[in-house]
Amino acid sequence: MRLFLLLGSLLLCFGCKTENTSALQDDIKVEKIDSLSKEKIKSELLKISPEAEKSLESFEDFQNLRSLMHTMHDANAFYAKKYADSADILVGTFEENLSEDLNVNTINSRITVLSTESALLAQLSKKKRVRSEEILGANTRLIKAYNSLVIQLNELSLAIPENIEKELLKDLEDEEN
């Protein structure tokens, strides 16, 4: 008799635990990311300077990256999630095909940050249960990393090349003597 009471109480305890976990699983609802949502990121996309534009016009990978960043900037969470893999691949392609004059530490560090943010967005987009706020947050960080790259490209295009700088310094020395 005691054995039956013990088994009955054990079954009752285990039965309650399975019911609680199933009740918890029912409470967790996956929010569907809507393609018609009006939610977008609030960060602005920086423009590239005319000097940098002129030097980068033949660099097709940058033109493709800029076009995709404009798409990502205007995208809601659904489309940001949809294009996350494309952004990650395009950033990698841009990094691989970087021209010799752009292969400097400052540009490489900005590309590394951009690559990290695009990979994080791509990883987040592969999750089954992801909220639109998470996608939009990752997309905002991606746009900020792109803006940082644009700032650096603008600064690089305005920088005085070393040979011109040396000539200017030589002219200054000649004037002083």
User: 117-143: per-residue pLDDT in tens?
Assistant: 999 999 999 998 888 889 999 999 999
- Give the torsion through C-alpha atoms of 103, 107, 108, 112, to 10 deg: -150
- Give the torsion through C-alpha atoms of 76, 65, 118, 32, to 10 deg: 20
pLDDT at 151 over 90: yes
Give the C-alpha separation, 148 to 35, whole Å.
29
Topology adopted by domain 50-176: Four Helix Bundle (Hemerythrin (Met), subunit A) (1.20.120)
> Would you state the structure tokens that stand for residue 157, as one six-digit string?
């295009």
Q: Determine the straight-line distance between the first and last CA of the chain, rounded to whole angstroms.
A: 115
Arithmetic mean of pLDDT over the chain: 80
Which residue in 39, 48, 121 sits closest to 86, CA to CA? 121
Per residue in 78-89, pLDDT (tens digit) is 888 899 999 999
Cβ(132)–Cβ(79) below 8 Å: no
Name every residue whose Cβ is closer than 8 Å to that of residue 123 and which is 6 or more positions away in sequence: none
**Count of residues making up the chain:** 177
